[in-house]
Amino acid sequence: MVLTEKDAKQLDRDDSLSRFREEFYIKPNTIYLDGNSLGLLSKRAERTLLESLNDWKEHGIDGWTRGQHPWFFLSERLGEMMAPLVGAEVDEVIVTGSTTVNLHQLVATFYKPSGKKSKILADELTFPSDIYALQSQLRIHGFDPDTHLVRVKSRDGRLLEEADIIEAMTDEIALIILPTVLYRSGQILDMNRLTGEANKRAILIGFDGCHSVGAIPHSFSEWGVDFAYWCNYKHLNGGPGSVGGLYVNKKHFGSAPGLAGWFGSKKEKQFDMEHTLTPAESAGAFQIGTPHILSLAPLLGALEIFAETRIENIREKSLKITRFLMDLMDQELSDMGFSVGNPQEDLRRGGHVSLEHNEAARICKALKENGIIPDFRAPNIIRLAPVALYTSYSEVWTAVQVLKKIMVEKQYEKFKNEREVVA
C-alpha cells in the first residue's frame, strides 16, 4: 500500500488528540520534531507561570502560603499531578532538583557497599551525565570507577539485551541504574522484568525516565522499582531547565536522605529551624534546597493537559505516528543511505524515531534551513519525535517530502558534517 498526503489528512481527521495542538505555540512554517529534547510551550504553561509571577507581585514573601499557587507546597502538588504518569502513589513522587542532582541524591541514599557487594551496574549506551554522576559517587566512596562501575555492553551499538543485563547482576552488584528508554535508539527496556530479576538478587534498582515520562505508561509501584528520576522539559513540556522529578517506592520511606537539606523536612517542622532534620514521611524527604518556583510554575499548566487525556491515549497515537513516519521513510527514502536504528516492535519503541546516516549532522542543518526542527546525536543519528499532543500526520508527511528533496538535490553538501555547539 502506497501512503499519500490524503492518508495523512484522514489520520488527522480521525485523531482524538488533535484538539490539543491548539494548546501549543507552534511557529508558522515550521515543523517541530524535537520534543524529545525540549517540548513546546503551551498556553497553559505560560498562564501558570504568569500566575506565579503575579503571586510574587501581589504577595511578596507571603506567596509561600498565599496566592493561586502557594510556593511552599508546590513541589508536592506537582508530584501528585505527576504520579499517574509514572504509575505511583501520590506520596511516592516529588518534583524537585534536576536529573543529575536527583541521581546524586538517590545514589547517595541507596548505594551502600558492603564487602564484595560494592559495584554499580549501568550500561554503555546511557546518557553521559548519569555515568559522570556514578563515577563521582564511586570516588566519594573510595572506589575506582574503572573497576567498580560495570557497564553492560551493547551487541550492535544501538540496543541492549535484557538477558545481558541480567547476566551482569552478579553478587558483586550493590546498585543498578538503567534508562527506561535509550536516548539514542529509543529502545524501551523491560523494566518489569529487570526489576523482578534485581529483586530476586536483593539488588536495588533505579531508572532514568528522561526519555519516557510523558510518552509511555509506567507502573513503577506495581513493578517494585526502588526509585526513579527524570527531567520534565522533554515530553512533559515544562520548559527549558524545568525542575526534575523523582520517585521513591514507599517501602523505602524512612530512609535518611543521602544529601540532606531543609526542604526535605516534614512541612510542619521545617521552620522550627532545629539542627536535627525531621524528614518528610514521603518522597518529599529527598528534596534538598529551596525549589525554583519560576521553573516549577509552567509544569502546573503543562500537567493539566496530561490530566485531560490518559497517558495510554498519548502512547497509542505516539506508536501510530512513529509507525507512519517509519513507513514513509521506507517508501520515500529507502535508497538514500538511511537506516532505522530504533526497534520496530511497538513494545520496544519509545517516542522518537532514530534515523542513521553518514551525513547526519549536515542533513540536520539542511532540515533546519527548510523549517524542519530535528535533533542530532553523534556520530550519525537524526532523532525525529512526532509528539502526540501537537504533531500532525500531515506534518510528518511534509517533513519526509522535504527530507527527500534535500537528499535528491544534495542540499546538505553546503554544510559541514559536524555538530553545532548545542546539537
Tell me the per-residue pLDDT of 125-170, one tens digit each, with 9 for 90 and over.
Answer: 999 999 999 999 999 999 999 999 999 999 999 999 999 999 999 9
Residue 22 has pLDDT above 80, yes or no: yes
pLDDT digits (tens, 9 = 90+) for 403-412: 999 999 999 9
Report the chain's mean pLDDT, rounded to a whole number.
97
Residue 423 has pLDDT above 80, yes or no: no
Q: Which CATH number fits domain 5-32+310-414: 3.90.1150.10, 3.90.1300.10, 3.40.1390.20, 1.20.1250.20?
A: 3.90.1150.10
pLDDT digits (tens, 9 = 90+) for 295-315: 999 999 999 999 999 999 999
Q: Which residues are annotated as a binding site for pyridoxal 5'-phosphate?
A: 99-100, 127-130, 208, 211, 233, 262, 290
* HEC readout, 119-148: EEEEECCCCHHHHHHHHHHHHHCCCCHHHH
For residue 23, the model assigns a pLDDT of 97
Q: Which CATH number fits domain 47-308: 1.20.1250.20, 3.40.50.300, 3.40.640.10, 3.40.1440.10?
A: 3.40.640.10
Check if the beta carbon of residue 178 is closer than 8 Å to that of residue 123.
yes
Comparing C-alpha atoms, which of 133, 117, 105 is closest to residue 229? 105
Provide, rounded to the nearest whole percent, the portion of the chain with pLDDT above 70. Answer: 100
Considering the chain, tell me which residue range(s) the CATH 3.90.1150.10 domain(s) occupy: 5-32+310-414
Confidence of residue 1 (pLDDT cuts 50, 70, 90): confident
For residue 178, the model assigns a pLDDT of 98
Confidence of residue 384 (pLDDT cuts 50, 70, 90): very high
Q: Which residues are annotated as a binding site?
A: 99-100, 127-130, 208, 211, 233, 262, 290
For residue 149, the model assigns a pLDDT of 98
Residue 75 has pLDDT above 90, yes or no: yes
For residue 86, the model assigns a pLDDT of 98
Q: Once rounded to an integer, what is the mean pLDDT over residues 101-117?
A: 97
For residue 422, the model assigns a pLDDT of 78
For residue 263, the model assigns a pLDDT of 97
C-alpha cell at 94: 516529588
pLDDT digits (tens, 9 = 90+) for 170-206: 999 999 999 999 999 999 999 999 999 999 999 999 9
For residue 11, give the amino acid letter: L
Q: Once rounded to an integer, what is the mean pLDDT over residues 349-372?
A: 97
Confidence of residue 419 (pLDDT cuts 50, 70, 90): confident
b/e sequence 38-70, b meaning 16+ C-beta within 10 Å: bbbbbebbbebbeebeebbeebeeebbeebebb
b/e sequence 256-285, b meaning 16+ C-beta within 10 Å: ebbbbbebbbeeeebeeeeeebebbebbbb
**CA pair distance 329, 336, nearest whole angstrom:** 10
Residue 421 has pLDDT above 90, yes or no: no
Confidence of residue 5 (pLDDT cuts 50, 70, 90): very high
Provide, rounded to the nearest whole percent, the portion of the chain with pLDDT above 90. Answer: 98
**CA pair distance 352, 354, nearest whole angstrom:** 6
Considering the chain, tell me which residue range(s) the CATH 3.40.640.10 domain(s) occupy: 47-308
Evaluate the CA torsion angle 338, 339, 340, 345 in order and state its sign: positive
Torsion of CA 217, 220, 222, 226, to 10 degrees: 170
Confidence of residue 232 (pLDDT cuts 50, 70, 90): very high
Comparing C-alpha atoms, which of 35, 27, 16, 40 is closest to residue 301? 40
Main-chain phi, psi angles of 279, to 5 degrees? -65, 150
Comparing C-alpha atoms, which of 396, 85, 126 is closest to residue 236? 85
Check if the beta carbon of residue 78 is closer than 8 Å to that of residue 306.
no
**CA pair distance 160, 215, nearest whole angstrom:** 20
For residue 416, the model assigns a pLDDT of 87
Contacts of 137 (CB under 8 A, 6+ apart): 104, 107, 108, 111, 120
